[in-house]
């Protein structure tokens, strides 16, 4: 009844040249969430029109810093309301959060496309910024969760959170202890979101116990060929929506040459 795809495209124009937007146009998803769009609204519209996605309604926010970040939600479903940004003013024009209220076959649903900071364990300022953004996400998850519990609107948050939750979510977890993306402080956020806040990690709940399936592999080295990846792309759902999720699929390319991003799309089907 509903199919949702999320993917960090690593630049929509680069992804288009590599065949990524053709993949998206043929995937049959009802909702597509993009991160790292790295384009203006006009540039995004041009790519979508050229690659068979021009009929979709677009909710998009770009970063003030050109060529960085940017998130979008694409869908043929009418937008009831669009909201951009999350948390304090410092994140207002960073191109990292857009949410859309939709009327879907499953009822009223808020869909979010989010892109968390990479962070840097050896750079206190960069890592503190990431934690502030995760704090902002957590505050918004509380509000969205309360709305779902009250029966107002279910919610799904899609995106690149730049955190691998458990050891099964990163191939070389021993070698990455102490690095951004696998810090205890970062992982604690996901503990709370999937614990006391009541959200469900659909990629894990439907994807088995692991290891993997991973969603990101470096462009460098042989990590892609040896499946030395990280699972950092998520779809988080409120309980009512999570109960209707039936399948999860990571669209890893068949070969390195066929990759169109350093991430793979995560697709969830709801019945």
List active site positions.
160
CA separation for the pair 124, 35 (Å, rounded):
25
- List the beta bridge partners of residue 142: none
| Apex 45 CA angle, 40 and 51, nearest 5 | 130
Sequence-ordered alpha helix ranges (H) in 108-183: 124-149
Radius of gyration for the alpha carbons in the chain, expressed in angstroms and rounded:
17
CA separation for the pair 147, 23 (Å, rounded):
34
Polymer length in residues for the chain: 271
The DSSP H or E segment spanning 98 is strand 97-104
**113: region left, alpha or beta (phi > 0 left; psi from -120 to 50 alpha):** beta
Which of 194, 187, 202 has its CA nearest to residue 250?
202
Coil, strand or helix: which one is 175?
Answer: coil
Token pair belonging to 57: 């309604």
Exposure of 10 by Cβ count < 10 A (0-12 exposed, 13-18 middle, 19+ buried)? buried
Contact call for residues 56 and 25 (beta carbons, < 8 A): no
Handedness of CA 13, 92, 125, 162 (dihedral sign): negative
End-to-end CA separation in angstroms for the chain: 5
């Amino acid at each position: 009844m509903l199919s949702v795809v999320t993917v960090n495209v690593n630049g929509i124009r680069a992804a288009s040249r590599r065949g990524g937007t053709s993949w998206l146009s043929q995937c049959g998803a009802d909702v597509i969430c993009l991160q790292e769009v790295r384009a203006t609204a006009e540039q995004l519209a041009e790519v979508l029109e050229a690659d068979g996605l021009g009929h979709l309604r677009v909710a998009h926010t770009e970063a003030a810093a050109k060529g960085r970040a940017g998130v979008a939600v694409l869908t043929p479903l009418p937008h009831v309301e669009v909201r951009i940004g999350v948390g304090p003013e410092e994140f207002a024009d960073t191109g990292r959060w857009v949410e859309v209220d939709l009327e879907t076959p499953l009822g009223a649903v808020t869909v979010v496309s989010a892109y968390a900071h990479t962070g840097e364990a050896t750079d206190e300022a960069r890592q503190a910024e990431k934690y502030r953004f995760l704090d902002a996400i957590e505050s918004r998850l509380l509000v969205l969760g309360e709305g779902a519990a009250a029966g107002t609107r279910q919610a799904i948050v899609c995106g690149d959170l730049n955190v691998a939750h458990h050891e099964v979510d990163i191939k070389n977890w021993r070698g990455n202890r102490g690095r951004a993306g696998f810090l205890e402080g970062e992982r604690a956020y996901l503990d709370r979101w999937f614990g006391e806040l009541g959200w469900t990690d659909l990629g894990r709940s439907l994807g088995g116990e692991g290891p993997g399936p991973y969603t990101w592999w470096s462009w460098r080295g042989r990590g892609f060929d040896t499946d030395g990846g990280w699972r950092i792309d998520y779809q988080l759902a409120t309980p009512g929506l999570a109960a209707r999720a039936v399948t999860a699929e990571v669209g890893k390319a068949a070969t390195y040459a066929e990759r169109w991003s350093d991430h793979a799309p995560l697709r969830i089907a709801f019945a």
